[in-house]
Structure 1
């Protein structure tokens, strides 16, 4: 069971815990101890203002970036001192009402400023949008450069909940009869343990700003093969654990389909497509381009290295030459055996002085591949060369037909 995330421990600590209990259950008002809390708890108008202020404060704090949140917390502490000073006024109730109204106006103004300017469905804007619907978190979150991190579970600890927007994969299209375009993105929620929970999030535009109108949990440790909007439906192809698969090594290739109803709820439709296993045949009819030799080692722009899978062979081009190498499938899903001794390569002399070195490196790494999978719509080939492990990442060519 996923851990419940306590987002606002630090924020709520600035208020009396007993007064917070009184806000939730009026019969607990006798638990408050400070004079100002007692006065607020006994006055219905002040109790309502306090609740409105707490809700607005939490909303502003959630939607703010980390640097902004620290300033907001400090101003809240200063305001609490001002509130306490009302006890020394001749009409403390009137002073408190005025103080709460002033703070509400201030927080409302801050909330308006954290709204981004007119937004687009670019990754730049989607990575700084607000999202909701992640059950364990329970409140809206604001990403900063594609990442949100909650409070550590233990004070000073390093384990904390995180949400990441998966880069380089999204779908934009119409999902309603109005034909207005919306964006669909993927969020990965990590509560701090082994779970990696995948969500789809639908983003619309409201008055020029991005608004997350629907979010749906997909599964734990699913690997994304493809995402698109077709005929007003979200189509998500994933690799997920089959009946006898371990969570680390999913082997079922499954297509999930949702439509957006009139209440902005994502409704998953029955699966009518046959579930197949993760074998090299899944790679057929798709052309891939190498974008990184391994994580953190991108392929230079002038290098165009291609790969396809056709009838038991990897084929493609590297430098100015073409190659083909035999591939067999292993019993475990996604595991393959590249028969590098069965490699054929043309022998053209390339103009690029680094071509021979790049060709040798690529063919060595390809010959050491033992496993493939998908990540955020990209192909990942795991290899071992001279005892060193790595993962080559390929992006799908737009012209490819993906079954």
Structure 2
């Protein structure tokens, strides 16, 4: 009898122990604020590949899905050429924390065209929740807006533009603009929309411009580095052409046409491949006929053998010297 009681006691003790173990295993992690952390969604920043295949709302009546950054709908008329098209601007994809959750959102920029000459720019913040890309809103920037720069700063989207202003034809915007959006109560809201005076050569002063491409299809070599600065006081371009330093006077009209004076510079000799880059660059810059911006890059147009070329530069801030 005593042995039976002892055995029963042991079984009870083991049962209690197993119950404690199982009970501990079933407990959920609870944060200091009492929130069940195990059920919290996983929030991450979308990858470029995810953005290129995202489903978007707010552009057309129905949602559309990008395929490798592109969307092409059915023609408006049977066998017609005009159809809805959307293009993801992959060259500009700024990111930053817009909603204060500690995780960066990606700002997608897309261009919409449904035939004709209009190209409508949209700004669309995106996040990824539990592996699914979700849209936090959308805002129309405008028709044929040229982007000078776009960034996420202190929880806001800040875009510097060249867009239509007083006296501009629809085809040819010339005015500087500043656009700012923030998330307010979960809604993407434009808080600043300012149109300033016409864009001019003086707006190139300040940063150093680093050559990135000789045209839209041919990148420039990283070395030697080719640079350009606009000297506002002397009204001239100066910089490095890869081997030598160069300078030359520059004039511009209100329509952003350029006239470059004879370019001069130092006379060092470098390896043939460096001299080839220098010769090509100086010839293109010396024949430059106009300037503007292309997806955040300074674009200087020059005549080519078959079609116009474009020198594309990215801005780099110049360190202050004491």
Q: Which of the five TM-score ranges fits, normalised by the shorter chain? A: 0.7 to 0.9
Match of 1:347 in 2: 267
Q: Which residue of 62, 69, 86 maps to 1:146?
A: 69
Distance 1:185 1:287, change over 3 A: farther
Displacement, 1:400? 5.6
Displacement, 1:120? 4.5
Q: Which residue of 198, 212, 216 maps to 1:291?
A: 212
Displacement, 1:258? 1.3
**Does the Cα contact within 8 Å between 1:119 and 1:210 map onto a contact in 2?**
no
Match of 2:129 in 1: 206
**Does the Cα contact within 8 Å between 1:226 and 1:238 map onto a contact in 2?**
yes
Match of 1:257 in 2: 180
Distance 2:230 2:169 in 1: 26
Displacement, 1:274? 7.0
Q: Which residue of 222, 229, 241 maps to 1:308?
A: 229
Match of 1:321 in 2: 244
Match of 2:53 in 1: 128
Match of 2:300 in 1: 381
Bigger fraction of residues in strand: 2
Distance 1:250 1:380 in 2: 15
Distance 1:400 1:202 in 2: 31
Distance 2:239 2:83 in 1: 44
Displacement, 1:364? 1.1
SS where residue 358 of structure 1 aligns? helix
SS where residue 269 of structure 1 aligns? strand
**Does the Cα contact within 8 Å between 2:243 and 2:275 map onto a contact in 1?**
no
Q: Which residue of 180, 197, 200 maps to 1:279?
A: 200
Displacement, 1:277? 1.7
1:181 aligned to 2:104? yes
User: Which structure has the larger Rg?
Assistant: 2
Distance 1:157 1:166, change over 3 A: same
**Does the Cα contact within 8 Å between 1:368 and 1:385 map onto a contact in 2?**
no
**Does the Cα contact within 8 Å between 1:307 and 1:314 map onto a contact in 2?**
yes
Bigger fraction of residues in helix: 1
- What is the TM-score with the length of structure 1 in the denominator? 0.64
Distance 1:127 1:396, change over 3 A: farther
Q: Equivalent residues in 2 for 1:40-51 (5 A)?
A: none
Q: How many equivalent pairs are there?
A: 275
Distance 1:159 1:186, change over 3 A: same
Match of 1:162 in 2: 85
Q: Which residue of 225, 248, 269 maps to 2:191?
A: 269
Distance 2:71 2:268 in 1: 50
Distance 1:315 1:204, change over 3 A: same
Match of 1:195 in 2: 118
Structure 1 unaligned regions, length at least 5:
1-117
Runs of 4+ in 1 over 6 A off after TM superposition: none
Distance 1:120 1:400 in 2: 31
Match of 1:335 in 2: 257
SS where residue 211 of structure 1 aligns? strand
Displacement, 1:294? 1.8
**Does the Cα contact within 8 Å between 2:161 and 2:177 map onto a contact in 1?**
yes
Distance 1:375 1:385, change over 3 A: closer
Match of 1:237 in 2: 160
| CA-to-aligned-CA distance 1:328-351 (integer Å, 9 cap, x gap) | 12122x222222x2x22111111x
